[in-house]
């Protein structure tokens, strides 16, 4: 057996290449049992692993690829309490306020008001559909960031909606479970034709 030894500079280079090779992950669709299972909390030790950091990068890449505004780890078949979210210029949600790229690990949310607001939601795991979902208007969020640091902030309106949607995923729920009834459930083509107000 022979061992090929690279000079240290090349070893570093190959390591960097590996770490920065991001991947678009396969998204689980409704019916896959992983979406209905509560996800497991993540330990501080696990957060430090390069493979864990790569999973987060891949989740961000996957969310961007499919024009999502949020993605939970169980949607990419990893039953762990991780969610990523970002609302930039987004083709699926063109009229929504911006939300910076955020990584939430082991998130907890607390409603700050009993006031609920209804608005449209879609989900990468439930393609082609939209429905109106009531959500708390304002919430306090506690989580760890991708470096394991404590994160605490208040989110309102669409920002709060996205976080509640992802938090539901981490608890095995999808937005259909939160709809008062299914009468507004609509395919995207019909959404554009009958529901989208100009």
Q: Which of 78, 86, 121, 166 is catalytic?
A: 166
* Closest CB to Ni ion: residue number: 123
Kindly state the DSSP code that residue 114 receives in the 8-state scheme.
Answer: S
Span from 30-38, 80-88, 118-126, 156-164 in contact with Ni ion (CB under 5 A)? 118-126
Asked if 63 is part of the footprint of Ni ion (rule: CB under 5 A), the reply reads no
Compare residues 141 and 163 and give the one whose CB is closer to Ni ion: 163
Alpha-carbon dihedral 143, 144, 145, 149, rounded to 10 degrees = 130
Q: Which of 30, 39, 28 is nearest to 75 (CA)?
A: 28
Report CA-CA distances (Å) from 130 to 91, 167, 190, 194.
15, 18, 10, 12
Asked if 87 is part of the footprint of Ni ion (rule: CB under 5 A), the reply reads no
Report CA-CA distances (Å) from 135 to 39, 88, 126, 138, 163.
21, 21, 19, 9, 10
Residue 53 Cβ vs Ni ion, minimum distance, rounded to whole Å = 23
Compare residues 124 and 144 and give the one whose CB is closer to Ni ion: 124
Among the listed residues 59, 82, 84, 123, the single contact to Ni ion using CB under 5 A: 123
CA distance 71 to 188: 20
Span from 35-43, 58-66, 105-113, 120-128 in contact with Ni ion (CB under 5 A)? 120-128
> Any catalytic annotation for residue 128?
no
Catalytic residue numbers?
166
């Amino acid at each position: 057996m022979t061992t090929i030894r690279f000079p240290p500079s090349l070893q570093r280079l190959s390591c960097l290449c590996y770490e920065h090779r991001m991947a678009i992950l396969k998204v689980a669709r409704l019916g896959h049992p992983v979406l209905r299972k509560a996800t497991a909390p993540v330990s501080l030790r696990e957060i430090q692993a390069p493979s864990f950091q790569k999973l987060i990068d891949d989740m961000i890449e996957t969310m961007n690829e499919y024009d999502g505004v949020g993605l939970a780890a169980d949607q990419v078949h990893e039953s762990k309490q991780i969610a990523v979210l970002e609302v930039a210029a987004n083709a699926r949600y063109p009229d929504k306020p911006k939300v910076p790229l955020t990584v939430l690990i082991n998130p907890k949310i607390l409603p700050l008001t009993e006031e609920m607001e209804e608005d449209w939601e879609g989900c990468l795991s439930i393609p082609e559909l939209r429905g109106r979902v009531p959500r708390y208007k304002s919430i306090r969020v506690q989580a760890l960031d991708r470096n394991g640091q404590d994160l605490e902030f208040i989110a309102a309106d669409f920002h709060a909606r996205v976080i509640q949607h992802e938090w539901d995923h981490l608890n095995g729920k999808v937005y259909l479970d939160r709809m008062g009834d299914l009468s507004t459930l609509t395919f995207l083509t019909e959404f554009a034709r009958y529901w989208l107000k100009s």
